[in-house]
A = this chain, B = another copy of it.
Amino acid sequence: MSHSFRNDYSSLCHPRILKALEEFSLEQNITYGLDRHSEKASEYIRKIFNTPNADIHYLVGGTLTNVTFISYALRPYEGVIAVKSAHINVHETAAVEASGHKIFTVEGKDGKLYPEDVIKALKANTDEHMVKLKLVYISNSTETGTIYSKQELLDLAGVCREFGLYLFIDGARLGSALTSKYNDVEPELLGTVCDAFYIGGAKNGLLLGEALVINNPDLQDSFRYHIKNRGAMISKGYLLGIQFEEAFKDGLYFEIAKETNNVADYLKEELNKIGYETPNSPTNQVFVTVCNNLGEDIIKEFDVELWEKKENEITIRFVVSFVTTKNDVDNLINYLRNYK
């Protein structure tokens, strides 16, 4: 069977992560995330992301992290601003709403949210008969693999500060964003530009786990109560601590992301060479529009996702994962070259 280009979380983990687990497999640890591995990982993260006073919590999934943080940050009558295509709005089975909060959507552009979107949202909700908007949710890289520039993040932070809104960055694919060759955001910026963000593990070579980094001290009190209250605290917190310690002690996290982006860049180049355009694909998600027949055959052969269907053509999404090799790309390219 051919390599699957469906997503970046179809394989367990990077060999070094597994090796770290082996190393500590019979050790006895303090439980519920208070272990030395988690603490060490947090030290690394605080330093790399320039947020010395951050509280860091390790949670087991992206949706759970989004819901746990958002439902903590908001009062019952407060809501979220997000773009329509946001993961929390489309792909989390209304988990945020299930925690009691409305997501007020705006159009955005290329999967990104801009200051004018925020202002438009605020203008549409003016009094106590409407939701009180309080938190801006973005992801980087976004649902469609696009990335924010440094200036875009600073502008968004500015409008949030002006109107007393929290800025929260979903970093399920933060690695792919920060190591894209189009990126100009330093990790240090994350520690100051937003109230909280998270560093995705599952989509970047870890077994599972997201590191939620809360920069804003006003959003730190009793957070562990909230994690447990949401059912999101696992007994063996050190399972996450060990992985993040390994990922950040010497740059493994960024290496994995960088290498994945490299393979994605190689894929784009090879596709371009044989005449396929790959617009708006700065990270490990590569979008190609082809005629229906070819598209359906690729979907079957390489298990890729159908992204959008138009009358005579379809857009498909290739996702490069940490297990994807240049060889896998070559096989795909050969398939395309030899197609009919």
Whether A93 and B11, one on each chain, are in contact in the complex, defined by CB atoms closer than 8 angstroms, is: no
Whether A11 and B25, one on each chain, are in contact in the complex, defined by CB atoms closer than 8 angstroms, is: yes
Whether B90 and A9, one on each chain, are in contact in the complex, defined by CB atoms closer than 8 angstroms, is: no
Say yes or no: is A326 at the interface (Cβ < 8 Å to chain B).
Answer: no
Say yes or no: is A158 at the interface (Cβ < 8 Å to chain B).
Answer: no
A131–B97 Cα distance when bound, in Å, is: 10
Contacts of A91 in B (CB 8 A): 129-130
Say yes or no: is A299 at the interface (Cβ < 8 Å to chain B).
Answer: no
Contacts of A242 in B (CB 8 A): 12
Contact A77/B102 with A28-B10, A230-B231 known, Cβ cut-off 8 Å: no
A31–B7 Cα distance when bound, in Å, is: 9
A241–B108 Cα distance when bound, in Å, is: 39
Whether A231 and B229, one on each chain, are in contact in the complex, defined by CB atoms closer than 8 angstroms, is: no
Contacts of A25 in B (CB 8 A): 11-13, 15, 18
In the assembly, how many copies of this chain are there?
Answer: 4
Q: Nearest Cβ in chain B — how far from A268, in angstroms?
A: 21
Binds B, one of A63-71, A113-121, A143-151, A178-186: A63-71
Whether A323 and B76, one on each chain, are in contact in the complex, defined by CB atoms closer than 8 angstroms, is: no
Chain A 62-85 per-residue mask, 1 if CB under 8 angstroms from chain B, else 0:
111011100110011111000000
Whether B229 and A77, one on each chain, are in contact in the complex, defined by CB atoms closer than 8 angstroms, is: yes
Whether A61 and B128, one on each chain, are in contact in the complex, defined by CB atoms closer than 8 angstroms, is: no
Whether A77 and B225, one on each chain, are in contact in the complex, defined by CB atoms closer than 8 angstroms, is: yes
Q: Nearest Cβ in chain B — how far from A68, in angstroms?
A: 7
Binds B, one of A44-52, A200-208, A269-277, A285-293: A200-208
Binds B, one of A188-196, A232-240, A250-258, A310-318: A232-240
Q: Closest residue of chain B to A321, judged by CB?
A: B28
**Chain A interface (Cβ < 8 Å from any Cβ of B):** 3-4, 7, 9-13, 15, 18, 21-22, 24-32, 60-64, 66-68, 71-72, 75-79, 90-95, 97-103, 128-132, 202-203, 207-208, 222, 224-236, 238-239, 242, 323
